[in-house]
Amino acid sequence: MIRRHFLALAATTVLAFGLGGAAQAEDDFIVVQSTTSTQNSGLFDHILPIFTEKTGIEVRVVAVGTGQAIKNAANGDGDVLFVHAKPAEEKFVAQGHGLARSDVMYNDFVIVGPPADPAGVAGMSDVVAALTRIAEAEAPFASRGDDSGTNKAELRLWAATGIDARAASGEWYRETGSGMGATLNTGTAMGAYIMTDRATWIAFGNKGDYQIAVEGDAKMFNQYGIILVDPEMHGNVKAEAGQSFIDWVLSDEGQAAIAGYKVDGQQLFFPNAG
pLDDT digits (tens, 9 = 90+) for 6-50: 333 333 333 333 333 333 445 689 999 999 889 989 999 999 999
The pLDDT of residue 218: 97
Pick from 202, 260, 263: which is nearest to 271 by CA? 260
Task: Kindly calculate the radius of gyration of the chain based on its CA atoms and give it in whole angstroms.
Answer: 20
C-alpha dihedral over 243, 247, 250, 252, to 10 degrees? -160
The Cα 203–Cα 76 span in angstroms is 31
**Which residue stretches of 121-179 are H helix?**
127-137, 149-161
Chain centroid offset of residue 189 CA: 23
The pLDDT of residue 37: 85
Chain centroid offset of residue 200 CA: 10
40 close to 144: Cβ distance less than 8 angstroms: no
Tally of CA atoms within 13 A in the half-sphere of 165 that contains its CB = 29
SS3 call for 72? helix
The pLDDT of residue 27: 61
**pLDDT, average across residues 207-235:** 97
The Cα 142–Cα 165 span in angstroms is 11
Phi, psi at residue 90, to the nearest 5°?
A: -65, -35
What would the pLDDT profile of 115-161 be if each residue is shown by its tens digit? 999 999 999 999 999 999 999 999 999 999 999 999 999 999 999 99
Q: pLDDT-derived band of residue 274, with 50, 70 and 90 as boundaries?
A: confident
The helix (run of H) or strand (run of E) holding residue 171 is none
The Cα 2–Cα 265 span in angstroms is 37
Q: Which residues contact 11 (CB under 8 A, 6 or more apart)?
A: 22
The pLDDT of residue 1: 39
Chain centroid offset of residue 73 CA: 14
Task: Please say if the pLDDT value at position 167 is more than 90.
Answer: yes
The pLDDT of residue 265: 95
Q: CA-CA distances (angstroms) from residue 100 to 55, 80, 97, 103?
A: 23, 11, 10, 10
